[in-house]
A and B are shown apart, each in its own frame.
Chain A
Amino acid sequence: MLELSLFVILALFIVGGAVATITNRQPLFSAFGFLVSMLAMAGVFGLLENQFLALAQIMVSVGAVVVLNILSIMTVNAKEENLPKELHKYRWILLSAVLVSPVTFLIYKSMSMAYQHFSRLETVSTKVMGERLFSAWVLPFEIVSILLLTAMVGAIVIARKKDVIAKETR
């Protein structure tokens, strides 16, 4: 009973945060909605007794993604009058929700199929997780790191000023 009520509260926070993310006009309030949603998600992982996943969720989603998002929003520092008008916002949100509803239904169906596996899930210790990651899953891990490296190099190249590149190639 305690678990169920905790889950309901966390789920309300997840959904509420997600709604706040898309309905708020100020980007920083949207970021706060995203933050609440991510923290509640970590709470759900904690309820499933997978503490490593919960902490990884906080570290990656909150510590890295949200902080970087907020920093970039603050660097842009859009004024109130410069924000887009967003006419008929709720109508568009409703329309897009209807458009993606097949995908939502699919996710719901697959998740309800997978429920039996989740309920039998044994607690995976951090040590086992690390060992699996660096033995059985080492190739996907390396592929992901190469992808990240490529993205990083690309971002640096895009962010550099054009004349600096021109000067160096000359």
Chain B
Amino acid sequence: MSTASVLVAVFSLILGALLALLTIPVLVWLERRIASLIQDRLGPNRTNIFGFRLGGVVQSFADVVKLLLKEEYYPSHIKMGRWLFMLAPVITFSAALLAFMVIPFADTLNIGDEALRIQALPVDFGVLWYLAIGAVGVLGVVYGGWLSHNKYALLGAARAGSMVVSYELPLGLSVLALVVTYNTVDFNAMVQWQSGTFFGFLPAWGILVQPLGGIILIIALFAETNRNPFTVAEGESEIVAGYMTEHTAMKFAMYFMGEYVAMNSASAVIITMLFGGYQLPWVSTEMLLTHFSSFALAVMVVLPVLVGIIIKWMRKNNTVRGSVSTDGGRGFETKVLSSALIIMTLFIEGVFIYLGFFTENILANTLAVALFQIMVFVVKLMLFNIFFIIIRWTVPRFRYDQVQRLGWYYLLPLALLNLLVTAIIVVGVSS
């Protein structure tokens, strides 16, 4: 155990926790703003701290304060198992949180003769971990719904349980087909496999190598995370709020946050298994390290352009109508954020100029590439979360029997067929 390995382990753990927990307010905000965009309105944009609105993200923190300060209310008809009634949301939330911890955020760091994984939980069987822990989450839903002694809650819990049972099979089979293709159960090795090319010009991403399996995986993960169009465990028009009807204040917030963390983990798994994880298409880690100067040059050109676009967009949009006399600190906010962005850009430019042209430090280059890959990962993660949100607000929800029929009659046979064909091709290629 050298100092570097301890530092990298602590850093990865903190990064994992931050990526899982700090994305919750951002995701809630994105959900509301994108829903508003689709429904032709604005969404929350007024809440501020000293004039800083950050586009409305502050609203999510206000929501957290509201949920924390609410009265802890227990329905008086719940006689037994009150501790389990309270524990159930925690089970769901912690299972979703733990499932996120095996996602690699960047390629393995080679410092000295050590290979250090940038993974909150540095294990080489991430797929198994995700499937195993993901299955525990539904137990919290089932117990919470059953202990509520409420017909709607019981129905919601039963639906959630049967959904998991019916979609676990296509999920497992499509994951198995991907495991057969990549010949590993290690998420990081999967990403490395995807860094090559396919047919000479396409990036060897899972979605292109395994199109059917990839689509089944995405659909099954949508169903597992209980997102639209598969929201059968809750539904205002038929079973009220489903399993969380009787849960109030922080207990409700736990379920709510658990749903977003599960969505985040699902997008992370999708991009890791199907969309090349932390890597840009056609560009592998070795390529970045060997051609570090051109990589640094590319970053130095692209970054100011991006920051310029962001600042211009902010100047244009972070204003009030001409008829309003006071701008509520918006001009000040724009100024502060613009200067912060410009200082950050200058700093990064300086670092890259030094690393790219004035020194030949392998360690610093490795670290810079790892940070770049973390940034790519975060951007991809957010894009996929936005995809989840857009699907939720544009596709109508299915009826319960339609969901079950889709799972058993279409996805399961297709996943079995896909696995069979994949196995035949893999054996044929290797022999």
Contact = CB atoms under 8 A, between A and B. Distances in A.
Interface stretch (A68-76, A91-99, A108-116): A68-76
Contact of B146 (A59, A64, A67, A74): A74
B161 A55 contact: no
A55 B132 contact: yes
B133 interface: yes
A62 B136 contact: yes
B168 A55 contact: no
A13 interface: no
A150 interface: no
A52 B125 CA distance: 8
Interface string A73-109: 0110100000000000000000000000000000000
B157 interface: yes
Given A59-B135, A67-B135, A74 B158 contact: yes
Contact of A29 (B81, B125, B138, B161): B81
A59 B164 contact: no
Contacts, number: 67
A74 B128 contact: no
A63 B131 contact: yes
A126 B131 CA distance: 15
Nearest to A29: B81
Interface residues of B, number: 27
A96 B148 CA distance: 35
Contact of B129 (A39, A55, A62, A71): A55
Contacts of B427: none
Nearest to B147: A28
Contacts of B124: 126
Given A52-B125, A55-B129, A67 B143 contact: no
Contact of B84 (A32, A51, A62, A63): A32
Contacts of A56: 128, 132
Contact of A63 (B129, B136, B146): B136
Contacts of A40: none
Interface in A1-59: 26, 28-29, 32, 35, 39, 51-52, 55-56, 58-59
B142 A74 contact: yes
Contacts of B131: 59, 63
A51 B121 CA distance: 13
Contacts of B185: 126
B123 interface: yes
A71 B158 contact: yes
Nearest to B134: A63
Given A32-B143, A63-B168, A74 B135 contact: no
Nearest to B184: A127
| Chain A contact residues: helix, strand, loop or mixed | helix
Contacts of B157: 74
Given A32-B143, A74-B161, A51 B154 contact: no
Contacts of A32: 84, 143
Nearest to B145: A74
A109 to B, nearest CB: 33
B165 interface: yes
Interface string B83-123: 01000000000000000000000000000000000000001
Given A59-B135, A62-B136, A67-B135, A74 B123 contact: no
A134 to B, nearest CB: 12
Contacts of A62: 132, 135-136, 139
Q: Interface centre among A62, A63, A74, A126, by most B CB within 10 Å?
A: A63
B125 A126 contact: yes
A58 B136 CA distance: 8
Contact of A52 (B128, B139, B158): B128
A43 to B, nearest CB: 13
Contacts of B168: 63
A55 B154 contact: no
A62 B135 CA distance: 7
B139 A59 contact: no
Given A59-B132, A63-B132, A71 B125 contact: no
A143 to B, nearest CB: 21
Contacts of A55: 125, 128-129, 132
Contacts of B136: 39, 58, 62-63
Nearest to A63: B135
A67 B128 contact: no
A28 B146 contact: yes
B394 interface: no
Nearest to A52: B125
Contacts of B142: 67, 70-71, 74
A56 B18 CA distance: 29
Contacts of A77: 154
Contact of B139 (A51, A64, A67): A67
B80 to A, nearest CB: 7
B162 interface: yes
A29 B135 CA distance: 19
A29 B80 CA distance: 10
A64 B80 CA distance: 26
Nearest to A28: B146
22 contacts: A26-B81, A28-B146, A32-B84, A32-B143, A52-B128, A58-B132, A59-B128, A59-B131, A59-B135, A62-B136, A62-B139, A63-B136, A67-B135, A67-B138, A67-B139, A67-B161, A68-B165, A71-B165, A74-B157, A74-B158, A126-B124, A126-B125
Interface of A: 26, 28-29, 32, 35, 39, 51-52, 55-56, 58-59, 62-64, 66-68, 70-71, 74-75, 77, 126
